[in-house]
Amino acid sequence: MKKLLSKKSIPHLLAEAHANEHGLKKTLGMWSLIALGVGAIIGAGLFVNTGRAAAEAAGSGVTLSFAVAAIGCAFAGLCYAEFASTIPIAGSAYTYSYATLGEVVAWIIGWSLVMEYALGAATVSIAWSEYLNNLLGGAIPYEWCHSPFEHKLIGNNTIPTNGIMNLPALSILAILTLLLIKGTQESAFINGIMVFIKVAIVLVFIIVGWNYIKPENHTPYLIPESTIGHEGIFKWGWGGVLGGAAIVFFAFIGFDAVSTAAQEAKNPKRDMPIGILGSLIICTILYILFAHVLTGIANWKEFGAGGAGGEASVSYAIKKMAGYEWLGTSVNIAILAGFSSVILVMLMGQTRVFYSMSNDGLIPKLFSDLHPKFKTPYKSNLLLLLMVGGFAAFIPGSVAGNLTSFGTLFAFVIVCAGIIMMRKNFPDLERPFKTPLVPLVPILGILVCLAMIVALDLTTLSVAGVWMLVGLLIYFGYSKHHSKLRKQDQDKL
């Protein structure tokens, strides 16, 4: 058991961070890191899950759901900021848990991050394909934008048309993978353009939509207990606010991906906390305003599965804004830009986690091989394209469910616990940024994130449990025997 909890030395990690001349390029400044965070955060969650959370659990109180989710993220973000400035090395939650909680915990976190980054990128690319086809008026044939497991009656046909592969989803993944191989600086530049587009359109929606808010749509603010179809503790009232927080939490996924780029930051001790917390603050303000406008333009009941706005809540709300129909097309463009930047940062985050795990011997060496010219983990990028692209091209997006949220929340819990352990075991360590009120802030982060995990549906929790079991089988079958830390400990004996 003691060997399973073997920890990487923090001084050794710091030495790795300093000896980076031949490793990942340091190209990211403060604004690039903030843009990476905003790029990863604003995407499917805001445009798709806001209306869903309002209809299913929180009503107009979805604004409070965003606040609850943001509070949980803020507690975790403060812990991430201390780790990222103190140990500026790739790997994020995986690396932090390796230094504070031990190897087997680090492996579990690294494995759970696959649910956040790889599975998240695949799911968002499928949504990207759907929105592209909508923007093009359905010009892409059904067979080439759906998986073989999906079928639909088209026109007057009595025999359903089966999908062959989701070519647009695979294409956007390939384009962004090639961009990431070319270089982090180039990827950050393109990401910055996409962030500008989607933030500008979100602001236009808020400003224009504010004039169409009807106060009666916000009354009552929370779903009453007696409402039909809202039985259950997380479906009405303040319980519904928490249930809504578990749904809209997906909208915050990604800010932690900033920490995976710590080894590529020019001045990580100063810029990593600003990038993590700055992007979180910006997005939280936009989210609450967006949700307030959306539920003010249309009643939350209209966003339900049987309601007129159940399929596309934002587009439905825009139709109620006379004279601003053009904004619907702009929102679709913003959604495509949002999805693209989310996929970009998720793919980058996953390869950086793989990079650190490979350097530690827990997965094969090829995941840490760098391109001789671009200094990016190109083999990892290409292998990830095969894995994520295979999922996106041939598996329906509905399979993913809320697994991405689970993987992220679980990582947040471990990071918060890691700060408590690091303060206890390394009290004299230089900390350019210090999480305030330790252990109170980390404990609150753990409690809020655990509460949102409990609020997830039983199917998601069951599938996540199976995923973790598979990860442990891989660890004991391969990683345990190839761990560089274990080999070093054996050499000392």
Average pLDDT across each block of 10 residues of the chain; the chain has 493 residues. List them in order. Answer: 63 63 64 79 76 86 91 86 77 79 87 84 86 84 86 71 89 94 77 82 90 92 82 83 83 72 74 85 92 91 62 75 77 81 85 88 91 87 93 75 76 88 85 89 90 81 89 92 80 57
> Is the residue at 476 inside a domain?
yes
Report how many domains make up the chain: 1
> Is the residue at 452 inside a domain?
yes
Distance, CA of 310 to CA of 317 (rounded, Å): 11
Q: Are the CB atoms for 413 and 108 separated by under 8 Å?
A: no
Range of the domain at 286: 29-141+167-492
pLDDT at 18: 60
Q: What burial letters (b/e) apply to 19-46, b meaning 16+ CB within 10 Å?
A: eeeebbbbbbbbebbbbbbbbbbbbbbb
Q: What is the DSSP letter of 433?
A: S
Q: Are the CB atoms for 318 and 294 separated by under 8 Å?
A: no
3-state class of 151 per DSSP?
strand
pLDDT at 21: 47
Maximum separation of any 2 CA atoms in the chain, in Å: 77
Q: Are the CB atoms for 400 and 122 separated by under 8 Å?
A: yes
Q: What is the CATH number of the domain that holds 363?
A: 1.20.1740.10
Q: Are the CB atoms for 161 and 151 separated by under 8 Å?
A: yes
Crossing angle between the packed helical segments 378-394 and 326-359, to the nearest 10 degrees: 130
The residues facing 161 across adjacent strands are: 152
pLDDT at 166: 93
> Is the residue at 48 inside a domain?
yes
Distance, CA of 142 to CA of 166 (rounded, Å): 9
> Is the residue at 221 inside a domain?
yes
> Is the residue at 11 inside a domain?
no
The per-residue pLDDT for range 143-186, each reduced to its tens digit, is 898 888 877 766 666 677 888 899 999 999 999 999 999 876 77
Q: Are the CB atoms for 440 and 447 separated by under 8 Å?
A: no
> Is the residue at 157 inside a domain?
no
pLDDT at 415: 87
pLDDT at 285: 93
pLDDT at 206: 93
pLDDT at 288: 95
pLDDT at 157: 66
pTM of the model: 0.76
What token pair was written down for 268? 């990580």
> Is the residue at 68 inside a domain?
yes
461 C-beta neighbours (distance < 10 Å), count: 14
> Is the residue at 150 inside a domain?
no
